[in-house]
Structures are given as C-alpha cells and as structure tokens.
C-alpha cells in the first residue's frame, strides 16, 4: 500500500511540475510571479498528497487548483461528509490561506 501511494504521489508531482513548467514557459500571464506560481504549484501538490492519505475519499475525482494560496476543490464525492472532509483536509495544509469547496455530491 505504501509503495502504491508513493508511486501515485510521484506521478502527481511529476504532472504538476510539467504543468508549472508549461505555464512558466508561456510567460505565466495570469499575473503571478514565477515565485508565486511555484509556491502555488507546491501547495497544490501538498493538498493532493493530503487528500490521498485519507481512505474515505476518492482523491482522483477531486481536482485542486491554487491561486495566491487560495485553494479551490472541484469534482465529485459520494456524500456531504466526504465534501466536508476534503475541505477540512485542504484547509489544514500549511500555507493554505483559504478553501473554496466546489465539490458536488453525486
């Protein structure tokens, strides 16, 4: 189980690094500095990793976006308890300034 989690985390981090590089190469035209973009990318990875640690969630059906430390959760969960848990977990990650929980209960 630990090995599978490690593999998933490494794949997620690799994907995020690729996205960050693509945005930086395009000039990062959303107004953030490259430093802030890197910080937001790292924060997104930290939130995704935290969501992966909870067996009660399906984190692959949850997308995480970060802008200036504000995290947005989107996607689908099975019930209101999962929605609340995901928001609470995301808000508990060091560096998160706020959470917008746009998760939809199926």
Q: Which residue has the higher pLDDT, 2 or 79?
A: 79
Q: What pLDDT sits at residue 57?
A: 87
Residue 16 has pLDDT above 90, yes or no: no
How far apart CA 82 and CA 32 sit, in angstroms, is: 32
How far apart CA 63 and CA 61 sit, in angstroms, is: 7
- The answer to whether 58 and 84 have CB atoms below 8 angstroms apart is no
Q: What pLDDT sits at residue 27?
A: 55
Residue 20 has pLDDT above 70, yes or no: no
Q: What pLDDT sits at residue 2?
A: 58
In order, the DSSP letters of 42-69 are HHHHHHHHHHHT-TT--GGGEEEEEETT
How far apart CA 88 and CA 18 sit, in angstroms, is: 28
Q: What pLDDT sits at residue 1?
A: 56
Q: What pLDDT sits at residue 3?
A: 57
Strands (E), the chain: 62-67, 70-77, 98-105
Give the mean model confidence (pLDDT) for residues 22-26.
52
Instruction: Dump pLDDT digits (tens) for 34-93.
Output: 999 999 999 999 999 999 998 888 888 999 999 999 999 999 999 999 999 999 999 999
């Amino acid at each position: 189980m630990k090995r599978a989690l490690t593999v998933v985390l490494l794949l997620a981090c690799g994907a995020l690094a690729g996205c960050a590089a693509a945005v930086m190469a395009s000039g990062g035209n959303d107004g953030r500095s490259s430093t802030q973009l890197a910080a937001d990318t790292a924060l997104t990875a930290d939130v995704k990793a935290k969501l992966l640690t909870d067996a009660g969630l399906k984190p692959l059906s949850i997308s995480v976006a970060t802008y200036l430390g504000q995290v947005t959760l989107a996607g689908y969960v099975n019930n209101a308890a999962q929605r609340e848990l995901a928001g609470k977990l995301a808000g508990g990650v060091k560096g998160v300034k706020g959470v917008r929980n746009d998760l939809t209960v199926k």
